[in-house]
Amino acid sequence: MIIDINFVGLILASIMASAVPLILASCGELITERSGVLNLGVEGMMIIGAISGFALMTVTGSLIIAVFGAMLAGVLISTIFAFLTQTLITNHVATGLALTIFGIGISAMIGKNFVGIPGKEFPILFESLKDTIPILSPILFGHSIVFYFAFALPFITNYFLKKTKLGLIVRAVGDSPVSASNQGINVRLVRYMCILYGGAMCGLAGAYLSMIYTPQWIENMTGGRGWIALALVVFSTWNPIKILIGAMIFGGLTIIQFHMQAVGVRIPVQFLTALPYIVTIIVLVVISRDSRKIRLSTPSSLGKSFYKDN
């Protein structure tokens, strides 16, 4: 079998493209979790972002409005979660589940009128450079701005958490809300902000799916990516750079599945489709087996409510 060198580049590029929504959502959720909040509503926020982006694009015709609108929609829906968990001190797990159920319902309700409408072409950058360097060109050039942003995000997130004062505050709030509060930090405000930021990133991830990756609206089109993004955060042991690696593995699994079908490998298609979920479980088991490592890297107050008598 002759493997065209450019074909390798193209496959890598398509793996990266399918990793984009996972990176965006995971990096958003990572910040939320670092502040001590476990938001299981990622899937719901993503699907809200997907329909909002697609609907705004169809109605207004403006891609910029659509992308930012999707992020805003993510922020709005996560506000419900933030209000419930931070102000009304509800259980994080249950509230997150409610958010996902609600999000899937609302998105299908809004999306009813947008089924079957073709999407718009999203502008890509550096198109003219696409054929200059073998292998590298398809990876480096000819992608949407969201693509580049997604691959920069883990590094930005890492810098934010480790080198900035705000990042330190977020980590302090997540690891020891009581001490942070005693230092005069408004724990509730920080957590609010981190939840809303997570919402924005999940909204963007959804918009990427419905506007760039497969430009159309399909019901339930996130198809569990939100849950995989949540698993990736555990996989990364709350380290943004490792999210990049994890997302590439899962992107790879998605893409390999298509190519194996194309080559005619005689494995039932359902098994290939199930592969990312099964691998997620296996990876989680391998990562979590070392309970000491998990305990050391998990934000200490993750999923626990913080309440302060005034």
Residues at the contact surface with other proteins, assessed by CB under 8 A? 40, 80, 84, 88-91, 93-95, 97-99, 101-106, 108-109, 112, 224, 227, 230-231, 234, 268, 270-271, 273-274, 277-278, 280-281, 284-285, 288-289, 291, 294, 309
- Please list the residues that pair with 125 across neighbouring strands: 143
Least distance (Å) between residue 39 CB and other proteins? 12
Least distance (Å) between residue 285 CB and other proteins? 5
Least distance (Å) between residue 8 CB and other proteins? 29
* Residue closer to other proteins, measured from CB, 9 or 226: 226
Least distance (Å) between residue 88 CB and other proteins? 4
Write down the residue that tokens 């913080």 correspond to.
306
User: Rounded to an integer, what distance in angstroms lies between the CA atom of residue 201 and that of residue 71?
Assistant: 7
* Residue closer to other proteins, measured from CB, 137 or 280: 280
Least distance (Å) between residue 309 CB and other proteins? 7
First vs last C-alpha separation in the chain: 71
CA 302 to chain centre: 19
Least distance (Å) between residue 273 CB and other proteins? 6
* Residue closer to other proteins, measured from CB, 83 or 151: 83
DSSP assignment of 21-71, as one string?
Answer: HHHHHHHHHHHHHHTT---TTHHHHHHHHHHHHHHHHHHH--HHHHHHHHH
Q: At a CB cut-off of 8 Å and minimum separation 6, what does 156 contact?
A: none
User: Rounded to an integer, what distance in angstroms lies between the CA atom of residue 94 and that of residue 79?
Assistant: 16
* Residue closer to other proteins, measured from CB, 35 or 86: 86
* Residue closer to other proteins, measured from CB, 98 or 211: 98
Amino acid, res. 53: G
* Residue closer to other proteins, measured from CB, 11 or 202: 202
Please calculate the CA angle 131-132-137 and round it to the nearest 5 degrees. 70
- Please list the residues that pair with 143 across neighbouring strands: 125
Secondary structure E strands in 23-89: none
DSSP assignment of 3-17, as one string?
Answer: --HHHHHHHHHHHHH
User: Rounded to an integer, what distance in angstroms lies between the CA atom of residue 46 and that of residue 78?
Assistant: 11
Least distance (Å) between residue 148 CB and other proteins? 29
User: Rounded to an integer, what distance in angstroms lies between the CA atom of residue 91 and that of residue 247?
Assistant: 29
Closest residue by Cα to residue 25 from 213, 215, 292, 177: 213
Least distance (Å) between residue 307 CB and other proteins? 9
* Residue closer to other proteins, measured from CB, 146 or 195: 195
User: Rounded to an integer, what distance in angstroms lies between the CA atom of residue 70 and that of residue 200?
Assistant: 8
Least distance (Å) between residue 294 CB and other proteins? 7
* Residue closer to other proteins, measured from CB, 38 or 172: 38
Amino acid, res. 225: R
* Residue closer to other proteins, measured from CB, 143 or 191: 191
Query: Which two tokens mark 157?
Result: 């997130």
